[in-house]
Structure 1
Amino acid sequence: MSDELPTDPEQNTQAEPLSRAIGDRYLTYALSTIMNRALPDARDGLKPVHRRILFAMRELRLSPNGAFRKSAKITGDVMGNYHPHGDAAIYDAMARLAQDFAMRYPLVDGQGNFGNIDGDNPAAARYTEARLAQASEALMDGLAEDSVDYRPNYDGTLTEPVVLPSAFPNLLANGASGIAVGMATNVPPHNLHEVIDACLHLIKTPDARDDTLAGLINGPDFPTGGVIVESRESIAETYRTGRGAFRVRAKWEQEDLGRGQWQIVVTEIPYQVQKSKLIERLAEVIQTKKVPILADVRDESAEDVRIVLEPRNRAVDPEQLMAALFKVSDLETRFSLNMNVLIDGRVPKVCSLKEVLRAFLDHRREVLIRRANFRLDKIAARLEVLEGYLVAYLNLDRVIEIIRYEDDPKSLMIAEFKLSDVQVEAILNMRLRALRKLEEIELRAERDNLQAEREGLQAMLDDETQQWSRISDQLKETRNLFGKSHPEGLRRTVITDAVIVEPVDMDAMIEREPLTVILSKMGWIRALKGHQPLDAELKFKDGDGPGLALHAETTDKLMVFASNGRFYTVPANNLPGGRGMGEPLRLMIDLPNEAEVISVFPWREGEKYLVASKLGDGFVVQAGDILAQTKSGKQVLNGDALLCKPVAGDHVAVVGTNRKLLVFPLSELPEMTRGKGVRLQRYGSGGGLVAADTLSDARFVNIAEGLSWPMGGGKTRTESDLSEWLGKRAGTGRMAPRGFPRDNKFA
């Protein structure tokens, strides 16, 4: 009774500062959360709840080839024996281990409704069944061979493993996420074949560089697939520091519906994105007209993901539509990597890829040594028994006599044959059937085999090189089980460099307003509101002046044709306003410094254009073939480009620097998508022609209306009879009419 606490509260109270009391208790809680709840162990990649679930299922003998058991039974055993927390939390953790859209290599084989990619919850534990998956069996291989330490469970009645032997780097293979106190972790899943390749390389080259390991592990491999758009340099830096992010996009394709109609089909969505919420978001985007060029979205998914996106019209560019949707929906997400894990189960640390692999390999070496020592102990015990058996066989008659006639055969056998207590017990428990001569031969063979095995194990323990060789062989066996030789082991996530596609707003996306586009001589572009006079006086920078001016609308796509033969697309609504001096056009498109802008005009569907070079070669190109999807433009004309004119007549009039004019039928010009073209007018081929002569200008005319050109004083002259200059394409032509402009330009 003297050990009882005083009943008086004043005598049973300790004075302590509040800050210290709260600090000590909060620190205890924080350490408990960090080590026993939120952060995974770098060795087996599991948190305590997942480790306890797998161990409890092993104790229930739920092997991958065995029968299923009710999830409620599994959850109850885990909660009652190892994990004193709520059954709902345990069941949710087990259900995630069975979800093939959450785990790259599921550790639980579930039967029943374990949830889906739409975000629906699993059915109640009483309705579902489960057993261990093959991958979890590999994680626990050797658990009964003293490969890891055990500790008492929460009430001291049972023991549980501190960590699993883990035949493969589960931390990287399946990933992990968790929020502790003051720290968090987020590790994406990876391809097991690639991770084991990196482990084998690290075994072979212990001082391998992080960049080399990152090259072997191409990047995350999510169970839901998708496309990672990151550069190799960025991925390598993320793995080197243990912190970073990966941009993940949905995988999509354009599906042709015939007659020019098409639709986009999304077949893979980013990891951890709920498909139902993604559909809701896309429907909201349509309703709010954030992306008006998207007309409809349908979910046609069955076993596989199939989300159908319908464009507003067939003129919409699919790349631009998807680029717009990537910005406003979860069709593109960022997966943050924070490799904050427990080293040796005790110290939280943000690790690089190399450090995580090294922690796993060191763990595998420890497991190998412990299993080898366990096996040596078993061999020693068995050899002791075998030696006793062999002594018994050599003195079989005497042994039988002692057993038959002596009151204390055990003591006599120990004294007479110098046997141990274990050996004598084994001999006394021997069956009569084992006294055959054949059994003696088998015992000698078993003894020899065990001795050879013992020598091999001892040599392996004495040689670190053999240990790493044995670990390499084990990893290769695991790779054969789960690697690329099996369909499930193939890489699902595609990794590509980021291709920037600026989403060009279509007519329905912006308000349609008139603009006057001004391009200065030095390449500064701006847009004035309204259709202003094209010859109005404007301010320019010092040394600059007027270049090109045209009327357009905010919904137009402006086509810029340059002297390098490339077409560039610039959205009119993206042009800077007219209050300032504008911005350099070269900042909006990748126009080389040596290239000059030849013409700027609004793109019109269905139109055709004549493009020609200074050498007099050219062809007609469709409007749909000049649209550029990137800032680098689209190569159309090969050669030193001179002009681009819209087709607007039945004949083509061309004039060279030699003032010779040729008019020929438009039908003689071919339509092409790209190339050098054909000769429009011939220069420098003898017969009085000068080699330095080049094409000066071209114009479309209607032969019945004749040819007009401006004269001085605002007057215009028309040559109604063009028969003198009519000819075949590629002719030299004849001297231009009297009064033709001296600069050899039609306008």
Structure 2
Amino acid sequence: MSDEPPHNPPDAPDPAKGPQDQTLSEPLSRAIGERYLTYALSTIMNRALPDARDGLKPVHRRILYAMRELRLSPTGGFRKSAKISGDVMGNYHPHGDAAIYDAMARLAQPFVMRYPLVDGQGNFGNIDGDNPAASRYTEARLTSAAEALMEGLAENAVDFRPNYDGTLTEPEVLPAAFPNLLANGASGIAVGMATNIPPHNLHELIDACLHLIDSPNARDDTLVSIVPGPDFPTGGILVESAESIAEAYRTGRGSFRLRARWAVEDLGRGTWQIVVTEIPYQVQKSRLIERLAELIDQKKVPILADVRDESAEDIRIVLEPRTRAVDPEALMGALYRNSDLETRFSLNMNVLIDGRVPKVCSLKEVLRAFLDHRREVLLRRANYRLDRIAARLEVLEGYIIAFLNLDRVIEIIRHEDDPKAVMMAEFKLTEVQVEAILNMRLRALRKLEEMELRTERDNLLAEREGLTAMLADERSQWKRIAEQLREVRATFGKSAPGGQRRTTIAEAAEAPVIDYDAMIEREPVTVILSKMGWIRAMKGHQPLDAELKFKDGDGPGFALHAETTDKLMIMGSNGRFYTLSVANLPGGRGMGEPLRLMIDLPNEAEAVTVFPWRADTRWLVASTEGDGFIVKADDMLGQTRSGKQVLNGTALLCRPIAGDHVVTVGKNRKMLVFPLDELPEMARGKGVRLQKFKDGGLSDATLITLAAGLSWLDPAGRTRTETDLSEWLGKRATAGRMAPRGFPRDNKF
């Protein structure tokens, strides 16, 4: 033996050194980068993206293979889902059993899979969004479609690899008798990339494959004419334009607009209702009903009166219009815009080519990947069959020699000590042939058996000749693939149960724009806004000083007359104007509802004034600092809950423009009168200085006609009028003079 010390690689830890000395250092950025890249590649290759050849992710492939190993054929019995997910986890997929069961349940859901791969017995979830029952309560077996995906696994059709612990083997990809990637679709989110593929009609996909076999250079437009769009298991109506669909299939990216299917049901006497029978793909029915109920509650679609779910096995959602005069198309158009009765399905055909390279593929590239895989499967199965034929022919030749020399063979077996060696030497037989002869049953030694052996040999020779000829001719190979595809089409195509196209392709008819205001019945109301911000609308024009009930600690704030067709304007102290429809205000029977639930009025802001909006009017707005300007009514209107910012600063008042002069009074009780035309008209801003103050700010402002003078109520409730205002008349932004004798102590006009 050599006396030299054992040689260690440069990076290998030295056993003679301690743990501290064996630590390797590397930059943090490189360490994180390498580890994150490893994780990203693992997610892309082994979890999130489907294989273009069989359309499956590893977890789905392992579930189907494990069920095949359990012999759960479509015609056999069911097994507990817990047993299936346990076998998958223990043998092939070392992840959580809940994740495996969820993936298996999805394969069994007919509202998710266009061609389910698992036949479930028990509660596997529903279109309302309810989860499947626990795996111990449900049972499952394979479907015919899943069996077609695995046809040829026992004939060396695909490569196998060791499982995670090296004790078993699993297929790298399934033989896939049909283009499952497009037939059932796929979705997944990897690192830095995602995939989203809708389901399609199998009959159309196979027609496209056959066309691609006949014309390998077929144009994308031709393939799109054969596969006009997705075919969702939940049906619906595809309303995307033909040009947009063609572009999506050509590039592998795009989106499809999908609508619910509905019909008008006549109830007699001129009344009717809308019945929705199919909803868009991946929309939970319960969430859809909740959203429609919210629209009714929030009065966002006033022409919708009620929604009912009358679904049993089939979907039946009933929509009742507010009145019989409503146009059904207009009602559905409004619901398309405000609910999931219309959705968009994004297409992103990002798949693994040959199980290794992620690529965004066109429709043609995906079908080509499937056909190339089918050709490889065909060649491998043919070669496997040739090997089996050769082995069987060898045995048959031995049987025939034994039959021709039957008496001598029996004599050798009866009298020789080593009959095997004697027979091999005397008849020039191989070891395999002699073993087969020695294992032959006595009942096979009849005259008829020899004829059957010769017939079988001739049939095998003819089959071998046909397979050899096919392997030598590529055209014959594609012909055989086409025959196989036609067989699959006959099994799962249009003539099979459920094989007809479910999603209709149609042009999107633009729904008419609804004038909701024209549909609201015009009625007088009295709007009450309490001191604490609770708002309500009482029927009729009630006296504005009438006694009203309020919550404890609350009291009157604003009261005004309006009509149900009016828009209510609320100016906040933050300078924003908020718009509410009077028809949407709560009724006057209770105490109303908090205003802040209807508009986004901050907690620190208060309502400064409330008034019904009128077109072609102008308003004076002013801040507590004494700045202001004139704003048009159109510039106040806001379309959202957050309102519209008009006045920058702390808002004090908003007065309608009437007269020719502005009168302001400060907290210092100095009053100023100046011409209205000195104020600018603006849509938004701080404005200009109204009155000059040494300290304090603006208390109030009003508009008058100078010739008529200024009127106010004195403390005794009598009206007093000052007609000669020359003492207070001046330029805008001057200090003014003390208010006239008897002016209110609160400095309010």
TM-score, normalization by structure 1: 0.68
| Residue 406 in structure 1 maps to residue 416 in structure 2 | yes
Correspondence 1:627-706 to 2 at 5 A? none
Distance 2:389 2:217 in 1: 37
Give the superposition deviation at 1:502: 2.8
Residue in 1 aligned with 2:108?
98
Give the superposition deviation at 1:423: 0.6
| Residue 150 in structure 1 maps to residue 133 in structure 2 | no
Residue in 2 aligned with 1:502?
512
Distance 2:468 2:422 in 1: 35
Residue in 2 aligned with 1:304?
314
Correspondence 1:192-591 to 2 at 5 A? 192-507=202-517
Give the superposition deviation at 1:11: 2.0
Partner of 1:221, secondary structure, is coil
Residue in 2 aligned with 1:624?
none
Q: Which amino acid aligns with 1:445?
A: T
Partner of 1:488, secondary structure, is coil
Alignment deviations for residues 655-713 of structure 1 (CA, whole Å, 9 cap, x no partner): xxxxxxxxxxxxxxxxxxxxxxxxxxxxxxxxxxxxxxxxxxxxxxxxxxxxxxxxxxx
| Residue 37 in structure 1 maps to residue 47 in structure 2 | yes
Give the superposition deviation at 1:66: 0.2
Change (3 A) 1:508 1:62: farther
Partner of 2:153, secondary structure, is coil
Residue in 2 aligned with 1:108?
118
Counterpart contact for 1:222–1:271, Cα < 8 Å: yes
Partner of 2:358, secondary structure, is strand
Residue in 1 aligned with 2:23?
13
Counterpart contact for 1:263–1:311, Cα < 8 Å: yes
Partner of 1:489, secondary structure, is coil
Change (3 A) 1:21 1:6: farther
For this pair of structures, how many residues does the alignment match? 522
Distance 1:12 1:325 in 2: 68
| Residue 120 in structure 1 maps to residue 125 in structure 2 | no
Residue in 2 aligned with 1:173?
183
Give the superposition deviation at 1:486: 1.9
Relative to structure 2, which stretch is displaced further, 230-239 or 84-93? 230-239
Distance 2:296 2:17 in 1: 72
Counterpart contact for 1:291–1:509, Cα < 8 Å: no
Residue in 2 aligned with 1:132?
142
Give the superposition deviation at 1:511: 9.6
Q: Which amino acid aligns with 2:192?
A: G
Change (3 A) 1:389 1:26: same
Distance 2:100 2:161 in 1: 20
Distance 1:434 1:284 in 2: 80
Distance 1:63 1:505 in 2: 59
Distance 2:154 2:173 in 1: 13
Q: Which amino acid aligns with 2:459?
A: N
Q: Which amino acid aligns with 2:416?
A: E
Distance 1:440 1:246 in 2: 65
Give the superposition deviation at 1:506: 3.2
Distance 1:79 1:48 in 2: 12
Counterpart contact for 1:292–1:508, Cα < 8 Å: no
Aligned-residue RMSD, C-alpha: 2.0
Q: Which amino acid aligns with 1:112?
A: G
Distance 1:351 1:377 in 2: 37
Alignment deviations for residues 591-613 of structure 1 (CA, whole Å, 9 cap, x no partner): xxxxxxxxxxxxxxxxxxxxxxx
After the TM superposition, which parts of structure 1 deviate over 2 Å for at least 4 consecutive aligned residues?
1-7, 505-513, 577-580
Partner of 2:347, secondary structure, is strand
Distance 2:135 2:178 in 1: 29
Give the superposition deviation at 1:233: 1.3
Give the superposition deviation at 1:413: 1.2
Partner of 1:308, secondary structure, is strand
Residue in 1 aligned with 2:57?
47
Alignment deviations for residues 242-288 of structure 1 (CA, whole Å, 9 cap, x no partner): 00000000001111111110111000000000000000000001011
Residue in 2 aligned with 1:675?
none
Q: Which amino acid aligns with 2:454?
A: R
Any stretches of 5+ residues in structure 1 without a counterpart?
514-552, 556-576, 583-747
Give the superposition deviation at 1:505: 2.4
Partner of 1:245, secondary structure, is strand
Any stretches of 5+ residues in structure 2 without a counterpart?
9-13, 524-563, 567-614, 618-631, 635-749
1:85 to 80, 89, 95: 95
Partner of 1:252, secondary structure, is strand
Distance 1:454 1:439 in 2: 22
Give the superposition deviation at 1:507: 3.8
Counterpart contact for 1:316–1:506, Cα < 8 Å: no
Give the superposition deviation at 1:411: 1.1
Give the superposition deviation at 1:9: 2.5
Distance 2:472 2:89 in 1: 43
Change (3 A) 1:508 1:285: farther
Distance 2:207 2:21 in 1: 66
Counterpart contact for 1:6–1:12, Cα < 8 Å: no
Alignment deviations for residues 693-739 of structure 1 (CA, whole Å, 9 cap, x no partner): xxxxxxxxxxxxxxxxxxxxxxxxxxxxxxxxxxxxxxxxxxxxxxx
Alignment deviations for residues 491-550 of structure 1 (CA, whole Å, 9 cap, x no partner): 00011122212331234767979xxxxxxxxxxxxxxxxxxxxxxxxxxxxxxxxxxxxx
Alignment deviations for residues 51-104 of structure 1 (CA, whole Å, 9 cap, x no partner): 000000000000000000000000100000000000000000000000000000
Q: Which amino acid aligns with 1:490?
A: Q
Q: Which amino acid aligns with 1:232?
A: A
Distance 1:156 1:61 in 2: 22
Correspondence 1:53-92 to 2 at 5 A? 53-92=63-102
Change (3 A) 1:15 1:290: same
Q: Which amino acid aligns with 2:199?
A: P
Give the superposition deviation at 1:7: 6.2
Distance 1:578 1:362 in 2: 71
Give the superposition deviation at 1:225: 0.3
Counterpart contact for 1:293–1:508, Cα < 8 Å: no
Q: Which amino acid aligns with 2:360?
A: V
Partner of 1:109, secondary structure, is strand
Q: Which amino acid aligns with 1:211?
A: D
Distance 1:55 1:6 in 2: 49
Distance 1:424 1:168 in 2: 44
